Structure 1
Amino acid sequence: MFRSRRLAAGIALTASLGLLAGCASDAPEGAGTPDPDEEVTLDFAFWGNDVRAEMYDEAIAAFNEEHPNITVNSTFLAWDEYWEKRQTEAAGRDLPDVFQMDMTYVRQYSENGLLLDLTPYLGGVIATDGYEQNVLDIAKVGDATAGMPISTNALGMFQNPMLADEVGAELFPGGDWDDYDQWLSDVRDAANEAGVQAWGGSNPTGFIQTFELALRSEGKSVFTEDGEVGFTKEELADFWNRGVTLRDDDVVTPQQRLEELSPMSGFDAAEQLSEITWDNFGAGYLANLGEPYTELELVAPPVTDEGAKDLYMKAGMLMSAAQTTDHPEAAAAFIDFMVNSPEAGAIFGTNRGMPASETQRDGIELDAIAQQILDYEASIADRLGDPPPVPIVGYGSVEAKFKALGQELGFGTITVDAAVDQLFAEIEVIVGQ
């Protein structure tokens, strides 16, 4: 649902920003701390709901205890309306002083000179000691820091141990993709013998994230830093052909069944033992599964090449400042508080995702799911590599096309060669805009 919304908003944003030229704006020289005697007003915008708004009100009040001279006026909207509003403001170069940013739009806004480069404030006004370097680099566009990560997550694999018991199958013990394919086959055999409608998982080749894992194991990415395609037609065809084999062998959840279960997946409908997705999905899965499924396992996805740095930390959301702000030091101080302070951590908990900053995590009271995510991310430290280049403008539509073609391949209504040609045609349109 969010992907389709992002696609629609992204198309509109591209049209409105297309006339703007330039790259990320130079940051002010000699960036310092805000003057405590200067009365400052900042406009701040975020997407969310009434619950998040109350949290931000409380966090702003805590911020004002440290900075009583900085007044923060906050506004919020739902996702669609939020980006429509930012689109209008961007066209008039009148963005709020500080606002929540999504990775989908970081490059677009930064390369159009709309975002303040936060680099001069790092290590000063904005503390960085709670961040790993690869997390700090998530929103770097060229030499500019376009935003500070509020939260992060990583790709993982959820497994349902209770469903595995019902099927009479073992959970996936780890290994490479060939091992995973064999496990899918073993689960299907066990389910047939037990008379249970269940599969090991859905077709893993239907999503761009698993293709990205394969590319990253070879030191590649979906798109390069320069916005060029980072893979060949042959590599994509090999990847999708593997999925066709899984489909034909009937060892993954049939596409028709997935359509029938939508908007739930086969996993949170208790018909799949595993699901490869972002590690912050656990709470939602448990809520949908309900009794008797009270616990899930979270493990690393299959590895392509042992020792590969194929996993990475992804920003759930970021905090950015407008290049046009009249108060960059105050904006930086506000960003620092919202991404680093234990006080803000205690207020938000995991409402905005798992805090990216360790100092902010120190302030939250972890529930079982949050602790599971932290333990998982610690367990994959050896597989974590540098984040991929910031997504190209229009990446959301490429991702949506990849998923749509994966569904067609799941139904068998398109050949792999035709699907490859269609994706590359989509990329040509996006890159050529």
Structure 2
Amino acid sequence: MGTSRDVERRTILKAAGASVAALGLAATTGCGGSGGTSADGTVTLRYAWWGGEPRAIAIKKTIALFEKKHPKIRVKPEFTDYEAFWEKFQTQASGGNPPDVFQNAVGFLRKYDRRGVLMDLKSQADAGNLKLENFRNGVLANGQADGKQIAVPVGANTMALVIDRKAFEKAGVQAKFGWTWDEYFDALQTVRDKLRIAGDTGYFSIMYLYDLYLRQHGKAFFTEDGLGFTQDDLTQWWEDGYKRVKSGLVADPKKVEQVKPKSALSAGLAASEFTWDNFSIRYEGEGESDYGLAPIPTTDGKDTGQYLGSLMLSAFAGTEHPEQAARFIDFMVHDPEVGSIMGYDRGILATTEQYAAFTPTDPTAKGVAAYEEEVATAGVLGKITPHPSGADVVEAAFLRIGGEVAQGRTKPPEAARTLFGEAKAAFAG
């Protein structure tokens, strides 16, 4: 769902941010998407996703399982990293030839629905080819827009604060549910004073974290057709962030750049970093400390503004094989064995069948499951913020411009004006 210093998402849609050119798409011609039908009636579907090699290995296992149970449907895999995926997808969509089924995210739903790319899956549900039941914690709504079901979640995640446990313990500070932003920044100051490292890696360029902060104040980053905050709101957010960079509370952005693709947290430059909870697996692999998930700070001591985001599957509206595409999606989101294979690679499993089928064994996955359970039990989860067409471009711009603020290259008032200007162009594109 957003930017969060994860390796995949740090590439952050350079392709999508570079162009908002309209797509001339004949979505219902049936000329694209499908691999065709063989003489014996076997159908071939193209299935595309982004992600690393472990995800590709797991998904290929699920494809083999599907083909074994559906011998008349073959699935051709297409996968790459996040940036390259959306570069390629934009080209495919422009030519009316996107994959039959593909991984999707909330920032792209309205963009490609408006261009006629996405199938309304309700018709296939009505035909009995796809079940829209048994989704956990209301995540099915994440794939809905303008009265249509244009994507189906495969996993769910939420924003979290990843902390260096050893650093927090050594500094004598504790993260707890209900703590306020003032208490959070006080804790980071204590870390800075006692350990001589920054408290945070660069929170104020993370769009989805700012969305939570706005939600805590009765606003939101996006409305259904634009931005849900003012230039003054954003100027204040970035001014506060830059002050904390200058004071050493937030890590030096030049040093953060130097350690990439490694995280500044796992590199020891800071004691905490905001990200999506299921991305936390990267820190144990990169760093030499002990890392854990901590609660989002609040404004009122209770409301975190959190919601469950999702990775989702969509189908091409112009596929030659809508029934088979829907049956494939149904299998991938409901089959228990698929859940056992995928685990929490794409977030906590979205359906009850798959959630029950997988028991995490490693400490990181157990920690993610426990964190989401704690958040759900706390009763703070709300509905996901609507994302208008162009949200992907705005996300890329927010990361880029926030980085310019952090490095002192752009003053916050000018940066806010620039963001609003680019957002206006993105929404009109």
Fold similarity call, TM over 0.5: yes
In structure 2, how many angstroms separate the alpha carbons of the residues matched to 1:121 and 1:356? 19
Structure 1 match to 2:339: 345
Distance (whole Å) between structure 2 residues aligned to residue 407 and residue 53 of structure 1: 31
Is 1:113 matched with 2:116?
A: yes
1:33-44 equivalent positions in 2, closer than 5 A:
40-44=43-47
Normalising to structure 1: TM-score of the pair?
Answer: 0.84
Whole-angstrom distance in 2 between the partners of 1:147 and 1:73:
20
Question: Is there any run of 5+ residues in structure 2 with no aligned partner, and where?
Answer: 1-6, 29-39
Whole-angstrom CA distance in 2 between matches of 1:2 and 1:21: 31
Q: Is the 8 A contact 2:220 2:228 kept in 1?
A: yes
1:10-21 equivalent positions in 2, closer than 5 A: 10-11=16-17, 14-15=20-21, 17=23, 19-20=24-25
Name the residue aligned to 2:364.
369
How far is 1:353 from its partner? 3.7
Is 263-272 or 227-236 further displaced after alignment?
263-272
Distance 1:260 1:53 in 2: 29
2:95, 2:400 → 1: CA distance? 35
TM-score (norm 2): 0.85
Shift of 1:247: 3.2
The structure-2 alpha-carbon separation of the partners of 1:372 and 1:50, relative to structure 1 and needing over 3 Å to count, comes to closer
Aligned twin of 2:165: 161
Distance 1:219 1:255 in 2: 31
Instruction: State the Cα deviation string for residues 251-285 of structure 1 (Å, max 9, x = none).
Output: 23233332333333331112322211111122110
Change (3 A) 1:307 1:95: same
Per the alignment, residue 357 of structure 1 pairs with 351
Match of 1:131 in 2: 135
Alpha carbons of structure 1 residues 65 and 409: separation in structure 2 relative to 1, 3 Å: closer
Task: Give distance in 1, aligned partners of 2:350 and 2:69.
Answer: 22
Aligned pair in 2 of structure 1 residues 425, 127: CA closer, same or farther (>3 Å)? Answer: same
Instruction: Name the aligned partner's letter for residue 416 of structure 1.
Output: P
- Note the 1:91-110 alignment, pairs <5 A: 91-110=94-113
Tell whether the 8 Å contact from 1:341 to 1:360 is kept in structure 2 after alignment.
Answer: yes
Residues matched between the structures, number: 407
Whether the 8 Å contact between 2:25 and 2:93 is mirrored in structure 1 is: no
When residues 56 and 418 of structure 1 are mapped into structure 2, their CA distance, relative to the original with a 3 A threshold, is: closer
How far the C-alpha of 1:11 sits from its partner, in A, is 4.9
Alignment partner of 1:280 out of 275, 278, 281: 278
Match of 1:7 in 2: 13
Partner of 1:323: 317
Displacement of 1:86 in angstroms is 2.9
The alpha carbon displacement at 1:51 in A equals 4.9
* Structure 1 equivalent of residue 71 of structure 2: 68
Partner of 2:61 in structure 1? 58
Cα distance in structure 1, aligned partners of 2:349 and 2:59: 15
Structure 1, 152-161 or 343-352: larger mean CA deviation: 343-352
**Alignment of 1:428 onto 2:424:** yes
8 Å CA contact 2:108, 2:392 repeated in 1: no
Amino acid at match of 1:224: T
| 214-223 vs 399-408, greater mean Cα deviation | 399-408
Report what 1:34 is aligned to: none
Query: For residues 13 and 141 of structure 1, do their structure 2 counterparts lie closer, same or farther at Cα, with a shift above 3 Å needed?
Result: farther
Does residue 406 in structure 1 map to residue 406 in structure 2? Answer: no
**How far apart are residue 80 of structure 1 and its match?**
4.5
Residue of structure 1 aligned with 2:326, choices 312, 332, 349:
332
Q: Tell me, what secondary structure is at the counterpart of 1:172?
A: coil
CA distance in 2, matches of 1:244, 1:159: 21
CA distance in 1 between partners of 2:176 and 2:260 (Å): 28
Note the aligned Cα RMSD (angstroms). Answer: 2.8
Measure the CA separation in 2 of the matches of 1:250 and 1:58.
47
Q: Residues 345 and 355 of structure 1 are in contact (CA less than 8 Å); yes or no, is this contact kept in structure 2?
A: yes
The DSSP-based 3-state class of the residue aligned with 2:415 is helix
Alignment CA distance shift 1:242-1:46 (3 Å) = closer
Residue 425 of structure 1: how far off its partner (Å)? 1.9
Indicate the residue corresponding to 1:28 in structure 2: none
Tell which structure's C-alpha radius of gyration is larger: 1
